[in-house]
Amino acid sequence: MERGINVSNKIKVVIADDQYVARGFFELHVKMAADYELVASLSAAEQAVEYCRRNSVDLVILDVMMKHGLDGLTCAETIKNNNPKIKVILATSTAEYQWIEKAEQAGIESFWFKEYDERSLLEVMDRTMKGEHVYPGTQPDPELGDAKKSELSERELEILRELTTNRSNEEIAERYCISVNTVKRHIQNMLVKTGYTNRLELAVNAKALGLVVHDDDRKKG
C-alpha cells in the first residue's frame, strides 16, 4: 500500500479557510476528485492542527491568511512538526511572494496561488501526493495603479509592506537601517511609477489588492 493512502484507497483531506466561498471551492474540488475524501472542512487553521493531532490525515490544504487565530503558515509548520508524513499545500489569494521561501524552509510540500497559478488545484494535489514539491515558478505580477508589481524594486516592496501597516518614515528607516530621506525617495519613486498622489493612496490600494502583505498582518490573529 502506498504511503498517504488509507484503507479505503482514498486520500484523506482536511481543508481550512476562513472565507466561506473559498472553502466551498476547496470542498467542491476535493469531493469531485475520485481519489480523495474530504474528512474535515474548517474555518480556522488551528482547528486543522487539532484535527490532524487526533485523526488520520494524508493531505491538508491551508489558506495562509486568517482573520482570527493563528495564520496558515504557522499552523502548517506545527502540523509538519507533529507528523512529517502529512502533506501540506499552502494557498493564498494575494500576490505576496515572500511566503514562498518561508514555506520551503518549513518543509511545506506545495504552495498554490489561487488567483494567479496556471495549474489547477487538483494537479497540485495529485503531484503533491506523488511526492513532488510544487511551487510557483514565477512571481505574480498584478498591476498597482500604472505599474506592474515587477516594476517595483525589492526595497520598494519592503517599504510598501511597512506603509500598509501605517508605519512612519522614521520607523521604516530604523527597521531597514537607512535614512529617512532614503525612505522618502523610495516612496516618491513608487508614486511616480504607480501614478498615485500620496502615500496613503499607495498603501491603501496595495493592501486592498493583496499586492504585499506584512507579516504583522499575517500573524495578527
Q: What is the tens place of the pLDDT at every residue in 35-91?
A: 999 999 999 999 999 999 999 999 999 999 988 888 999 999 999 999 999 999 999
Which residues are bridge partners to 15 per DSSP? 41, 61
- Residue 124, burial from CB neighbour count under 10 angstroms (0-12, 13-18, 19+): buried
For CATH 1.10.10.10, list the domain ranges present in the chain.
143-218
Contacts of 32 (CB under 8 A, 6+ apart): none
Question: What integer is the mean pLDDT of 17-23?
Answer: 91
- The SS3 call for residue 2 is coil
Contacts of 1 (CB under 8 A, 6+ apart): none
For CATH 3.40.50.2300, list the domain ranges present in the chain.
11-129
Determine the topology of domain 143-218 in CATH.
Arc Repressor Mutant, subunit A (1.10.10)
**pLDDT higher than threshold 90 for residue 3:** no
Angle in degrees, CA 109, 115, 116, rounded to 5:
70
**Grid coordinates in use for 54?**
487526533
What pLDDT score was predicted for residue 118?
85
State the pLDDT confidence band at 1, using cuts at 50, 70 and 90: very low
**Grid coordinates in use for 146?**
500604472
What pLDDT score was predicted for residue 8?
63
What pLDDT score was predicted for residue 220?
62
What pLDDT score was predicted for residue 5?
37
pLDDT tens profile 108-166: 999 999 988 889 999 999 999 999 999 998 888 999 999 999 999 999 999 999 999 99
81 phi-psi bin (left φ>0, alpha ψ -120 to 50, beta other) = alpha
Contact 190/156 with Cβ under 8 angstroms? yes
Which CATH architecture fits 11-129?
A: 3-Layer(aba) Sandwich (3.40)
Contact 59/125 with Cβ under 8 angstroms? yes
Question: What integer is the mean pLDDT of 30-38?
Answer: 94
